[in-house]
Amino acid sequence: MKTMYRVALTAALCVFLLPMYALSEIRAGSFEVSPFGGYNFFQDRQNLENSFLFGARLGYNFTKNFGIEGAAEYIGSSVDDKAKLWTKEGQFTSPIDDVDITFYHLDLIYHFMPDGNFNPFIVAGYGLANYDPEINDHDMAFGSFGLGAKYWLSDNFALRLDLRDNIVWDETIHNIQGTLGIVFAFGGKAKSAPAPLAKKELKPEPKATAPMVILASEPKAEEKVVAVVSQPAPVVVLAFEDIHFDFDRSTLTKEAQAILKRSIQLLKENPKAKLRIAGYTSARGTTEYNQKLSERRARAVYDYLTTEGLISPERLTTIGYGETRPAMYEPIPGNIYSEAAKANMRVLFEVIVK
């Protein structure tokens, strides 16, 4: 048993030390076919040699997190100590030589990080174990419990690592398994890829009665301003230089604070202006998490402007857009250091003068 648990610990460490950036994701409504092979460690009381196994799984993902899968696996083993006399229930002894074991089970699976290419999961299920020669006069029930991870190499192809314990209830026999397989995914709802947006593209409001003037400062430029006049529009909108953040952070950097201070002068020149602070994120992470992160980023700018006394709170409102409305399309959402990802980790604010 000590050997089994050492292998179990090693496999668990391998699962959770795999790379953590994303290329693909678990898709709700998708089917997965997964052939696999591995090694089974028998409990000593069975007197069976540890053996290789192979099998296959067919799964369906109800949501990105929850799925169900059916599995079948075969183990060809033999009696370990042929001189041992029968002493315990569930034990194989001479004259038996070869022992064939087949497990059939239905499992529920939960993915902890469905939006990346690295998807750690836990799994639990119920099944039947068939021993030949028979260890009992019927197929015996067992529970299957384990953990693992999928690592996507493309949208439809992944590697899969599992660590399981198939516990035969009748005799309380443990079968520790480590398996490695491949996954083929079909169908499902993939995250829609937004069309690239030109950062400097500005469009007139459709229902308007007065001229509109838009002032946009180029990134990294303190004084350069581009003016565009469009007919017609009811308000004057002043768009400032974006405030950028580090990955998964809502703390203002020194550079962001400097940008805010540069922009404040234009606010002071328009005392009737109302400021809307909008937060955004990159594509990495779940929709729910990114929405909250974008709101925290917008709030960080709000707190800085009000705490520093740069602008009164009644002139400010905040909104978070999460990963929607990106400045640049991210073809590889997991690359958090890409130009597109950095462009999308931002807060921008607009001043509307009525």
Asked whether residue 313 is assigned to any structural domain, the reply reads: yes
Q: What percent of the chain has pLDDT over 70?
A: 66
Q: What percent of the chain has pLDDT over 90?
A: 25
Closest CA to 341 of 289, 259, 300, 282: 282
Could you list the residue range(s) of the whole structural domain that residue 162 is in? 2-189
The pLDDT assigned to 190 comes to 57
Residues 177 and 242 placed together within one structural domain of the fold = no
- In the structure, what pLDDT confidence band is assigned to residue 352 with cuts at 50, 70 and 90? low
The pLDDT assigned to 214 comes to 41
Residues 184 and 50 placed together within one structural domain of the fold = yes
The pLDDT assigned to 241 comes to 55
Residue 124: is its pLDDT beyond 90? yes
Q: What backbone torsions phi and psi does residue 254 show, to the nearest 5 degrees?
A: -60, -35
Residues 181 and 216 placed together within one structural domain of the fold = no
245-271 burial by CB neighbour count: b if 16+ within 10 A, else e? Answer: beeeebebeeebeebbeebeeebeeee
Residues 176 and 222 placed together within one structural domain of the fold = no
Q: What is the CATH number of the domain that holds 152?
A: 2.40.160.20
Region 35-45: mean pLDDT is 90
Who wins on pLDDT, 236 or 252?
A: 252
Residues 27 and 111 placed together within one structural domain of the fold = yes
77-118, pLDDT tens digit by residue?
888 777 776 656 566 766 777 888 899 999 999 999 888 789
Residues 184 and 256 placed together within one structural domain of the fold = no
- In the structure, what pLDDT confidence band is assigned to residue 257 with cuts at 50, 70 and 90? confident
298: enclosing H helix or E strand:
helix 287-307
Residue 199: is its pLDDT beyond 70? no
- In the structure, what pLDDT confidence band is assigned to residue 48 with cuts at 50, 70 and 90? confident
| Cα 71 → chain centroid | 24
Half-sphere exposure of 122 (CA within 13 A, CB side): 3
Asked whether residue 122 is assigned to any structural domain, the reply reads: yes
Q: What is the CATH number of the domain that holds 217?
A: 3.30.1330.60
Region 42-64: mean pLDDT is 90
Region 49-68: mean pLDDT is 94
Residues 84 and 174 placed together within one structural domain of the fold = yes
The pLDDT assigned to 159 comes to 95
Asked whether residue 136 is assigned to any structural domain, the reply reads: yes
The pLDDT assigned to 240 comes to 54
For residues 141 and 127, is the Cβ–Cβ distance under 8 A? yes
Least confident residue range of 261-275, 288-302, 328-342: 261-275
How many domains in the chain?
2
Domain end point (choices 157, 189, 221): 189
Residue 123: is its pLDDT beyond 50? yes
Asked whether residue 204 is assigned to any structural domain, the reply reads: no
Asked whether residue 128 is assigned to any structural domain, the reply reads: yes
The residues, ordered by sequence, that sit 6+ positions from 142 with a Cβ below 8 Å of its Cβ are 103, 105, 126, 127, 128, 129, 166, 167, 168, 169, 175
Q: What backbone torsions phi and psi does residue 95 show, to the nearest 5 degrees?
A: -90, 10
Q: What is the pTM of this model?
A: 0.50
Residues 258 and 161 placed together within one structural domain of the fold = no
Residue 212: is its pLDDT beyond 50? no
Region 192-205: mean pLDDT is 41
Residue 332: is its pLDDT beyond 60? yes
Asked whether residue 302 is assigned to any structural domain, the reply reads: yes
Residues 178 and 30 placed together within one structural domain of the fold = yes
Q: Report the alpha-carbon distance of residue 306 to residue 312 in Å, rounded.
A: 6
Residues 178 and 216 placed together within one structural domain of the fold = no
Q: Report the alpha-carbon distance of residue 100 to residue 90 in Å, rounded.
A: 14
Asked whether residue 203 is assigned to any structural domain, the reply reads: no
Q: Report the alpha-carbon distance of residue 315 to residue 307 in Å, rounded.
A: 14
Residues 218 and 137 placed together within one structural domain of the fold = no
Residues 217 and 177 placed together within one structural domain of the fold = no
- How many C-beta neighbours within 10 Å does residue 16 have? 11
Which of 20-24, 25-29, 36-40, 82-86: highest mean pLDDT? 36-40
337: enclosing H helix or E strand:
none
Asked whether residue 156 is assigned to any structural domain, the reply reads: yes
